[in-house]
Amino acid sequence: MTSDLNGRTVLLTGGTGSFGTAFAGRLLERFESVTIRVFSRDELKQSEMSERFNGDDRLRFFLGDVRSPERLSRAAKGADFIIHAAAMKQVPACEYNPFEAIQTNINGSQNIVDAAIDNGVAKVVALSTDKAVNPVNLYGATKLCEEKLIIQGNAYAAQSRTKLCCVRYGNVVGSRGSVVPVFKRQVRSGRLTITDPRMTRFWITLDEAVELVLFALENTVGGEVFVPKIPSMRVVDLAEAMAPGIPQEVVGIRPGEKLHESLLTQDEARHSVDAGSVYVVLPEHPWWGTPDRWVGASPLPEGFAYVSDTNATWLGAEELAALVT
C-alpha cells in the first residue's frame, strides 16, 4: 500500500479477533499518527489487546455490537475508513443459532453500509470467505448476503463519497476456528482426526490477509470483490506436516462442510478480471456508474473457475510445516 494513513481514522469492527489484531499491529507499525477505533463486544479482549500493544494511544476502544445501528453510527462519526471484520464464524454455532447469525452477519452488514454513508466515510472494506461461494451452510449463506449488501450499498452511496467493497479469501493459517489449533491439541493425544483424505482447502496467512485488505482499501472504486491468488493444500498433508508418523483416523465430512472450496465460480468469472496478484469480481448491476479503473485488466478465460482441488499452486508438507511451526 502506498497511501499514507497518517492523520487518518480507521474504524475496525471485530477488532479484537485474529485478523483485527494483526491488522491493527500492521497499521501501528507503518503509520505514526494513524488512529484505530477498535470496535467489539468483549471488554476483556479489548483490555488484553491494549496490554498487547502497551497501551498505545493510537488505539481507541469502543465497546459495541454491529447489531446496534446507533452505537455503530457513533463509532463511525469522523472515521475515514471502515474495515468490517466482525462476524459469527463458527459453522455449528450459526446452524444452532440461525437468527443470531443473521442479526450479526446480515443485519450488522447493513448497519455498516448505513453508518458509512450517513457519516461520510470514504471507503469500506468488508471481509468475506470462500464459504460464501455456492454456500452449503448458514454461515456461508450469511456471508453471501453480506457481500450483496456491501456491493449494492454503492447504489445508495452514489450521491456521497462513500465507496464499498469486499475481500474474499480462504482458510487463515492458525486463526481461531481453523484446523491448526485442533491438530495441535490432538497431537498430545497421539491421534489426529481427518474428515476425508481427499479434502482440499485454500490457504492464506494473516499477513497476506492484511495486505489484501490494504490493497482493496487503496484500489477500490466501489463494488468490487477482491479474490487473492493463494495456494491450496491437502488436509492430509497438513496433518503429516504437523504430526509426522502420528496415526490418522478418518471420521467423515461434517454437516455443512464441502470436500473442496471455491473462491470464484464460472458464472462470476464472466464479469471478473485478472489484476495481477488478485482476481477482481466486478459488479453485475453497477447502477452507480461504471468507472474505468479495471479496463486494462485481463478478462478471465471462458469456463474459468477458481477451486481448491484444481488450483495451479499447492503447498506441500514441508512448506506447510514451515507455516504452522
Helix (H, G, I), strand (E, B) or coil at 90: coil
d(CA 34, CA 10): 8
DSSP string, 104-144: IIIIHHHHHHHHHHHTT-SEEEEEEEGGGSS--SHHHHHHH
Would you give the DSSP letter of residue 304?
A: -
CB 13 within 8 A of CB 81: no
163 is catalytic: no
Would you give the DSSP letter of residue 102?
A: I
**Cell numbers that stand for 287 in this block:** 447502477
d(CA 296, CA 181): 42
Q: Where are the alpha helices (DSSP H) in 31-68?
A: 43-52
Helix (H, G, I), strand (E, B) or coil at 231: coil
d(CA 225, CA 286): 13
Backbone angles phi, psi at 29, to 5 degrees: -70, -40
Backbone angles phi, psi at 191, to 5 degrees: -155, 130
Residue of 131, 143, 163, 258 with catalytic role? 131
Helix (H, G, I), strand (E, B) or coil at 169: strand
What is the C-alpha radius of gyration for the chain, rounded to an integer number of angstroms?
Answer: 20
CB 230 within 8 A of CB 185: no
Active site residues: 131
